[in-house]
Chain A
Amino acid sequence: MADSPDAPSSEHVQPREITYCGFCSLPPEYCEFGPTLEKCKQWLSKHDKVTYAILYNTLEDHLAAATLGEDKPEEDKKKAKEAAKIEKQMQKKMQSKVLIKRIERTKRKCVTSVFGLENFDVDLKKAAKLFANKFACGSSVTKNNQGNDEIVVQGDVSDEIFDLILEHWPIVPEDNIDLIEDKKKGK
């Protein structure tokens, strides 16, 4: 990380290993220009103590020096705003629900629709394929009347899907998954 790039050798060049910040995905030295410096610092101090020490001990002085000169207050405000925005988005993400709905088709047949998975960065197509494989049934991504994507799985597999989601995408909190049963005379 901290080594400066070497001169090109004529021999076989190995790719450099580089760690990116786990929080904002930038190379750690650029975290200070991202909106979430505080969070990045926390992450780095946990995961890569050496880099942390190198970066932020010297950086603190730098920042202090830079603060004196320019229009910093305004900048800080801007950054704080942006950070708050990201925070809010995260919160929203964590609050969004995944709905598993059992919809009656004909007398004894029904389909299960899963809505809201995309909020957790799940690739819907992949998920649909997974469901299809797992339950040996038809499963597809369709647009519902609101124009949002949802996965429709043929057959009543709501409980199984519930478990499968928990198992497969641990970032989805259990409390956020709702099971709903559509009433027969609903439509």
Chain B
Amino acid sequence: MFKKFSVKEDVTGHTQVKSSVQRAIRAKILEQYKEGIEGIIDDVMPKKTPLILMRCHEHINLIVMNNEVLFFNHFDGPYFPTLRLLHKYPNMLPRLQVDRGAIKFVMAGANIMCPGLTSKGARMDVSVPADSVVAITAEGKHEILAVGTTKMSTDDIKRINKNIGVETAHYLNDCLWKTVVDI
């Protein structure tokens, strides 16, 4: 999603949203991440701080607060937290671990294939249904490498062990990672 992206070219406009909209976004994020975020939402998104919505090409929205991109979503799909936010609160999302060999491909923007999630170095300790937002860590690493949505449930990943398991939305060193927002 962010293989090519630059604030200068791809952002069509940014607005400070109305407080009602802000509440709606907040509610949606809360609903989406439930346990993962309840304790921290006030730290992540204080109610009173103005929230800025950046609209970008291809229906991508960035949610910016205090000059930091916190979440992004596509069209009206789920909100993904950015990696910088995830590094601060790594327990927000269920985590899947890929093996070492997959790291360099993920960091080049590849989707995560099932074998990378089922091989020896990989781990899937949680079971999640299809189409849920997950964080990707890697064998021997502590930090989160990428964020994506599962294309099939973890059980299916184990069973089928073929094709794309997780669709990568945002990964380390992509253009969103490098983006510095300054409004």
- Enumerate chain A interface residues (CB-CB to B < 8 A): 1-8, 10-13, 15-16, 18, 24-27, 29-30, 33-34, 62, 66, 123, 126
Q: State the main secondary structure of chain B at its contact with A.
A: loop
6 contacts between A and B (CB under 8 A): A5-B90, A13-B91, A15-B40, A25-B177, A25-B178, A66-B100
Residue pair B173, A18 in contact (C-beta under 8 Å): no
Give the total number of A-B pairs whose CB atoms are below 8 A apart: 59
Q: Which residues of A contact B64 (CB under 8 A)?
A: none
- Enumerate chain B interface residues (CB-CB to A < 8 A): 35-36, 39-40, 43, 87-91, 100, 103-104, 107, 140-143, 145, 172-173, 177-178, 182
Residue pair A33, B89 in contact (C-beta under 8 Å): no
Residue pair A15, B104 in contact (C-beta under 8 Å): no
Nearest-Cβ distance from residue B175 to partner chain A, whole angstroms = 12
Q: Which residues of A contact B140 (CB under 8 A)?
A: 62
A1 to B87, CA, bound (A): 10
For A27, give the chain B residue with the smallest CB separation: B143
Residue pair B142, A4 in contact (C-beta under 8 Å): yes
Nearest-Cβ distance from residue B182 to partner chain A, whole angstroms = 6
Nearest-Cβ distance from residue B136 to partner chain A, whole angstroms = 12
Q: Which residues of A contact B145 (CB under 8 A)?
A: 30
Nearest-Cβ distance from residue B40 to partner chain A, whole angstroms = 5
Residue pair B87, A26 in contact (C-beta under 8 Å): no
Residue pair B141, A29 in contact (C-beta under 8 Å): yes
A3 to B143, CA, bound (A): 10
Q: Which residues of A contact B36 (CB under 8 A)?
A: 8
Q: Contacting B107 at CB < 8 Å: which of A8, A33, A62?
A: A33
Other A-B contacts than A3-B142, A16-B90, A29-B141, 20 sampled, CB-CB below 8 A, are A2-B142, A6-B91, A8-B36, A8-B91, A13-B39, A13-B40, A13-B89, A15-B43, A18-B88, A18-B143, A25-B173, A27-B87, A29-B143, A30-B141, A30-B143, A30-B172, A33-B104, A66-B100, A123-B182, A126-B182
A126 to B87, CA, bound (A): 30
Q: Which residues of B contact A126 (CB under 8 A)?
A: 182
Q: Which residues of A contact B35 (CB under 8 A)?
A: 8
Q: Which residues of B contact A16 (CB under 8 A)?
A: 87-90
For A3, give the chain B residue with the smallest CB separation: B142
* A34 touching B173 in the complex, CB below 8 Å, given contacts A11-B39, A25-B178, A126-B182: yes
